[in-house]
Amino acid sequence: MNSKVYELIILGCGPAGITAAIYAARKKMDFIIISKDIGGQTIYSSEVENYTGYQVITGAELVFKFKEHLDMFDVELHMPEEVKKVSKQDDIIKVETDKDIYFSKTLIIATGRIPRSLGVPNEEKFKGRGLTYCATCDAPLFRDKVVAVIGGGNSALDAAIQLTKYAKKIFLIDIASNLKADPVMVKKAFDSGIVDYIKNSKVVEIIGSNFVEGIKILNLENKKETILELQGIFVEIGSFASSQFIDIVEKTKDGEIIVDCANRTSKEGIFAAGDVTNVFAKQIIIACGEGAKAALSAYEYISKKF
């Protein structure tokens, strides 16, 4: 346990966390960052075309530039480390992670969003063994294979479209009764002739010994279970705010942390920024701006309070 009390701890090292850190460093605050990874969701974005100053840049490159900027300062980054619990007693905030316990006067939560997982038993075992969450990365590995795309929104259709170039057959498995994706995308996927739409259905089990060999799906209407033989599963069922580790701040019913215009949460000393909050529009440039605001807000709070 680290009994030191920092001025600030930043949780998350995506666009919001990195920008908050740059601002905090420039204010010479005594702080650390704790994060599972660097770059957050941005690294999954193949092409970013709406970050001012770059007409087009890959998410990975943008993250690299963010990191380079951050490296100009001597910032203590605890990574990979996962935050498990945040609590507060008197004026001191306690952060418990999978590795250690830390104390701080202020906290910025910038933990963004996490892709939703299937929630079936042996999911962990099949990750990277036929079960994947990055269609753009892994689609080419499934040439002439039978695959399933789970989801019915734009990202699911985007995955299906990418897979039409490689896979032999694609099952599109949707829990809803009709696709929510843009009609243009739906048409593009179905025009390939290899997409089979299975609606009202949910994946209940992944089958296989070492690698994915099939899935069991449950039809929610007639309660019938079916087994599909396939080698690849692409999960595209959206994301959720990564805020489960804290229950002392107010959240929306979807788990987004509620903040005011100066990124203050309902708990004094705790700030939040970016995709984890209820801020309107989840975008990189917005997350960066919010991160900057949160750092300045935390700085102002500390200057007045302590």
Partner 1 sequence: MGILNTQIKNKLKSVLDNLPNDVILKVFTQEIECPTCRENTSLMQEIAEVSDKIKLEVLNFIINKEEAEKLKIDKIPATAVVGEKDYGIRFYGVPAGYEFNSFISALKLVGTKNSGLKTSTIEQLKGITKLVNIKVFVTLTCPYCPMAVELAHKFAFESDYITSEMINAQEFPHLANKYGVYAVPKVVINEKVSFEGAVPEDIFLTYITEATK
Ligand X SMILES: Cc1cc2nc3c(=O)[nH]c(=O)nc-3n(C[C@H](O)[C@H](O)[C@H](O)COP(=O)(O)OP(=O)(O)OC[C@H]3O[C@@H](n4cnc5c(N)ncnc54)[C@H](O)[C@@H]3O)c2cc1C
- Give the footprint of ligand X on this chain (CB under 6 A): 11-17, 34-37, 40-42, 44-45, 48, 50, 82-83, 110-113, 242, 245, 274-275, 282-285, 287
Given a contact cutoff of 8 angstroms between Cβ atoms, the answer to whether 85 and 98 are in contact is no
Residue nearest to ligand X (CB): 112
Structure tokens at 97: 């992670």
Q: Which residues contact 30 (CB under 8 A, 6 or more apart)?
A: 6, 7, 8
194 binds partner 1 (CB under 8 A): no
Interatomic CA distance for residues 139 and 149, integer angstroms: 11
Active-site residue, from 37, 91, 100, 137 = 137
41 binds partner 1 (CB under 8 A): no
Residues 73-92 that bind partner 1 (CB under 8 A): 79-80
- Please choose, out of 122-130, 201-209, 278-286, 290-298, the segment that lies near partner 1 by the rule CB under 8 A: 122-130
Interatomic CA distance for residues 249 and 251, integer angstroms: 6
The three state secondary structure string of 6-33 is EEEEEECCCHHHHHHHHHHHHCCCCEEE
Burial class (CB in 10 A: 0-12, 13-18, 19+), 139: buried
Minimum CB distance to ligand X, residue 280 (Å): 12
Give the residue among 4, 9, 28, 3 at the shortest CA–CA distance from 303.
28
CB closer to ligand X out of 204 and 285: 285
CB closer to partner 1 out of 86 and 157: 157
Residue 12 site contact among ligand X, partner 1, none (CB < 5 to 8 Å, cut-off depends on kind): ligand X
Interatomic CA distance for residues 203 and 229, integer angstroms: 13
Looking at residue 276, its amino acid is V
129 binds partner 1 (CB under 8 A): yes
Structure tokens at 62: 């943008």
Minimum CB distance to ligand X, residue 159 (Å): 10
Interatomic CA distance for residues 156 and 142, integer angstroms: 16
Please provide the distance, in angstroms rounded to a whole number, between the alpha carbons at the two ends of the chain. 24
119 binds partner 1 (CB under 8 A): no
137 is catalytic: yes
Minimum CB distance to ligand X, residue 224 (Å): 33
Residue 43 site contact among partner 1, ligand X, none (CB < 5 to 8 Å, cut-off depends on kind): partner 1
Residue 137 site contact among ligand X, partner 1, none (CB < 5 to 8 Å, cut-off depends on kind): partner 1
43 binds partner 1 (CB under 8 A): yes
Interatomic CA distance for residues 252 and 264, integer angstroms: 15
Burial class (CB in 10 A: 0-12, 13-18, 19+), 17: buried
288 is catalytic: no
112 binds partner 1 (CB under 8 A): no
With CB under 8 A as the contact rule, the residue among 8, 70, 139, 159 that binds partner 1 is: 139
Residues catalogued as catalytic: 134, 137-138
Which chain residues interact with partner 1 by CB under 8 A?
37-39, 43-46, 58-61, 64, 79-80, 127-130, 132, 134, 136-141, 143, 162, 210-212, 232
